[in-house]
Structure 1
Amino acid sequence: MPVPVPRQRDIPGTESGPGATSSLTLLVIEDDPAGGLTVPEILDADGHRIRLRSARNLTEAARLLTPDVNCVLLDLALPHGSGAGSGSGSGSGDAAADPFGALRQVLRIAPRHAVLVLTSEDDAERAAEAVRVGAQDFLFRDELDGRLLSRAIRYAVERKRADIAQYKLAESKLRAQENARLERGLLPHPLLEGSDLRFAARYRPGRSRALLGGDFYDTVRTPDGTVHAMIGDVCGHGPDEAALGVELRIAWRALTLAGLCGDDLLATLQEVLEVERPCEEIFATLCTVDIAPDGRRAGLCLAGHPAPLISRPGRPARLLPYENSGPALGLLPRARWPRRQVELGGTWSLMLYTDGLIEGKIGQGKERLGQDGMVEMINRHLADGLSGEGLLEASVTEARRLNGGELTDDVAVVLLSRVEG
């Protein structure tokens, strides 16, 4: 015989969260109209009365399943598919087809609630199966009393919390693995086979928990031995800007391998941007360098982007010339981007970067690091003997420290180096 359950009482909702002193709330779902639990009082671990709500079917249960409910007690004898006004005999065909249909529905409408099931003692096998389906525990009608029920509710609530925490941990690990695979696919693999140049890069998106921002870079070597490098920055920090940055990088690589360079390349990239950008206000800055096969000279094109920094043995690092640069891509139709010839020498390092590295603040004021501050910082690290990956890591770390925390803008830094043998 189903356990009688008291009619719903007009009890104010309980508070939830750490330090709450209110009692637990139990929602009982059973379809016997007799009413009245045989247990006179149910207390929680602190001696507070556990509040009871009752529902005769799943429709009522869904209505009463408010956030302050801590646990659900379901009578396994409840017919599957019992809705508002359903009697105890309805849905018998569904119950035969799926004896846990009602439990599955409760688990669907209450995914974050602890669920207990109630059944007879001679149905222990079915009760155990209900736990495998998703219930936290089962109770037998003949053994039910206030002490046992209150303890079962507490344990079920804690087990549900532990299950949710474990699920979130597993989900976080899976997301981290997926992000690592996605990052390997989206960030470029430099194509430098046959070149004596050394390559290093650092990338840090500015958006919280973002995988990629609007900054992008790439490096390839064409069949004639020329090494082409690029770094760019799409204005904005959303996923649309990140996607556009990836599109521009892929387009740059394809066009470069097809033989385009300098003004012709940038003009074609501007056409790509104009077609792919989500709105006309979006633009992108770009810096491209093409290093001759002998490694001693390069061509430089700037499209509204900061000039690269060059360092040579025995001389302080300095910015490459940036006069007469062209506008950012997407700002002016039929714009031109002059290519400037630069002498590199025998042994050198060339650093390309986005403005996220130089726009961080210095201390508590409004002063920014700026290009001059960046040059001083790089020279200090060079004097300490840093190079390659170590130089980039130290520079990004110091920029974050000077900013007093994470940099708000995306940061990309590329370092190409050559040592004359």
Structure 2
Amino acid sequence: MVIDTTGEGSGGSALVGAEDELVVLLVEDDDGDAFLVTEHLADAALTVVVRRATTLDDAISTLGDRAVDCVLLDLGLPDAVGLDAVTRLRALPCAPALVVLTGLSGTDEGVRAVAAGADDYLVKGEVEPDLLGRSVRYAVQRRRSEAQQRAIYRSQIREAETMRLERALLPTPLVDDDDLAVLVGYIPGGNGLLGGDFYDAVELGDGRVVCLIGDVAGHGPDEAALGATLRTAWRTLVVSGTAPADVIGHVEHILTLERDRPEIFSTLCQVVVAPDRRSADLYLAGHLAPLLISEGRIAPVPSTARGRAMGVPSTGGWQALTIPLAAPWSLLLYTDGLVEATLAGVEVQGLDGPRPRRARLGLDGLASTVERVLADGQSNVVERTLRAVRDVHGGPLDDDAAALLVGWAGPGEAGERASTTAEDAGWGR
């Protein structure tokens, strides 16, 4: 045992053993009683650093300055008598374990102390080293277990909140045409936090199918919540009959109202597939152009009509670019998390310094990856593309990645439906 009035306390493992060093604060104004307790602690099977305070105010000050594992508290102090001391100590943030020392031989005072928040109580005249050691270990273990349970509970709450956000970001496309293929996928970046990527697809009463993919600048729960808000606003506008050419402007208005900082912006890609499935109108708000898969070729749609990102302080709107389509065709919409993936083991010289950096997959690399995926089969293209990009990256991507594929093989040809998220088996966070 070490008696110390100045040193810092040490932490401990979840399970309290005899070898763990514990910091005990003895709050006792009587020198004789303090000496006896200190001797008992020295004889107990504990590795312990003992500090002493003679008043409750001194004890509270010590707890604010230094780490303490357990408080041994006398219930008769000059500035606190009875359970008032227990109540005040328990009200402290991150209060340590608390064992009450009472001079009364009856159990009533000790039981009331435990009811008020103490972990255990001991009668001074009946204390002996083994009993004191067990009581301190029990009290510390109980507090650590409670802290672990609180941490687990908070983790479960955060996980549930994350899943609710993901469900808002990742809706079920509202497309009834069985001839149209609609495949969607979303995986968060390597740190497991949600970002602002979002997608959706809605079939209108006249047969047009409006598809969306977007990305809020930034990464985390605030951006995820904003992305969910924008996607919900977009779907509401589309199903309520707003002309596709006007939708982006209204979504931008929602963005400016809901963002918490003026520098937050969002990119968006909207595709409106014609009822006869032989053309589509493309709207780009600062977003990457989709890949067109048709006639054995995979190439990005020429982005000659690209407009500005939503929420940036510049003029200009968003004009439609009509894309002719010949069956079978597919359009792959995606976010920048895919093209910004890097190539494991491939380095290039950086422009901002002498140190090399990992080469990026880029748009051409993504097109080549999709080509390899299609060469191995036509099903589950989005999921297999996400996995292929993650494989060349060498692990979880640094940024979120979302993708939506809409395609048409011709009249009477059933279209595939599939959804892939990080919650699916085999992905993990």
Name the count of aligned residue pairs.
393
Structure 2 residue aligned with 1:86:
79
SS at match of 1:24: strand
The CA distance in 1 between the partners of 2:209 and 2:372, in whole Å, is 28
**Does residue 321 of the first structure (1) align with residue 272 of the second (2)?**
no
Letter of the aligned partner of 1:170 in structure 2?
Answer: Y
Task: Report the structure, 1 or 2, having the larger strand content.
Answer: 2
Structure 2 residue aligned with 1:383:
375
The CA distance in 2 between the partners of 1:47 and 1:290, in whole Å, is 73
SS at match of 2:36: coil
Q: Is the 8 A contact 1:15 1:22 kept in 2?
A: no
Q: CA deviation at 1:27?
A: 1.4
* Percentage of matched positions with identical amino acids: 39
Structure 2 residue aligned with 1:351:
332
Q: 2:173 aligns with which of 178, 182, 190?
A: 190
The CA distance in 2 between the partners of 1:419 and 1:101, in whole Å, is 78
TM-score when scaled to structure 2? 0.78
Change (3 A) 1:20 1:411: farther
**Does residue 336 of the first structure (1) align with residue 320 of the second (2)?**
no
The CA distance in 2 between the partners of 1:55 and 1:326, in whole Å, is 72
Unaligned runs of 5+ in 1: 1-7, 89-94
Q: CA deviation at 1:304?
A: 2.3
The CA distance in 2 between the partners of 1:243 and 1:292, in whole Å, is 31
**Does residue 29 of the first structure (1) align with residue 12 of the second (2)?**
no
Structure 2 residue aligned with 1:254:
236
Q: Is the 8 A contact 1:304 1:325 kept in 2?
A: yes
SS at match of 1:362: strand
Letter of the aligned partner of 2:35 in structure 1?
Answer: L
SS at match of 1:235: strand
Structure 2 residue aligned with 1:68:
67
Structure 2 residue aligned with 1:236:
218
The CA distance in 1 between the partners of 2:259 and 2:139, in whole Å, is 52
Q: CA deviation at 1:169?
A: 2.0
The CA distance in 2 between the partners of 1:170 and 1:111, in whole Å, is 17
Unaligned runs of 5+ in 2: 348-357, 413-429
Letter of the aligned partner of 1:285 in structure 2?
Answer: T
The CA distance in 1 between the partners of 2:289 and 2:253, in whole Å, is 23
SS at match of 1:220: strand
**Does residue 370 of the first structure (1) align with residue 362 of the second (2)?**
yes
Structure 2 residue aligned with 1:141:
124
Q: Is the 8 A contact 1:42 1:49 kept in 2?
A: yes
SS at match of 2:68: coil
1:7-18 residue pairs with structure 2 within 5 A? 10-17=5-12
Structure 2 residue aligned with 1:245:
227
Q: CA deviation at 1:161?
A: 1.9
**Higher mean C-alpha deviation, range 189-198 or range 149-158:** 189-198
Q: Is the 8 A contact 2:190 2:398 kept in 1?
A: yes
The CA distance in 2 between the partners of 1:267 and 1:10, in whole Å, is 66
Q: Is the 8 A contact 1:44 1:151 kept in 2?
A: no
SS at match of 2:173: coil
**Does residue 225 of the first structure (1) align with residue 207 of the second (2)?**
yes
SS at match of 1:233: strand
Structure 2 residue aligned with 1:395:
385
Q: CA deviation at 1:87?
A: 6.1
Change (3 A) 1:292 1:133: farther
The CA distance in 1 between the partners of 2:21 and 2:250, in whole Å, is 68
SS at match of 2:385: helix
Change (3 A) 1:273 1:13: closer
Deviations 1:152-171, CA, capped at 9 Å, x for gaps: 22332233222322332233
Q: CA deviation at 1:367?
A: 1.7
The CA distance in 1 between the partners of 2:371 and 2:29, in whole Å, is 79
Deviations 1:23-72, CA, capped at 9 Å, x for gaps: 53211234657654324352377765541313322x22210114332211
Q: CA deviation at 1:262?
A: 4.5
Structure 2 residue aligned with 1:163:
146
Change (3 A) 1:236 1:176: closer
1:283-322 residue pairs with structure 2 within 5 A? 283-312=265-294, 315-322=296-303
**Higher mean C-alpha deviation, range 295-304 or range 14-23:** 14-23
Change (3 A) 1:86 1:369: same
Q: Is the 8 A contact 1:206 1:409 kept in 2?
A: yes
The CA distance in 1 between the partners of 2:48 and 2:261, in whole Å, is 59
The CA distance in 1 between the partners of 2:262 and 2:157, in whole Å, is 37
Q: Is the 8 A contact 1:43 1:150 kept in 2?
A: no
Q: Is the 8 A contact 1:291 1:298 kept in 2?
A: yes
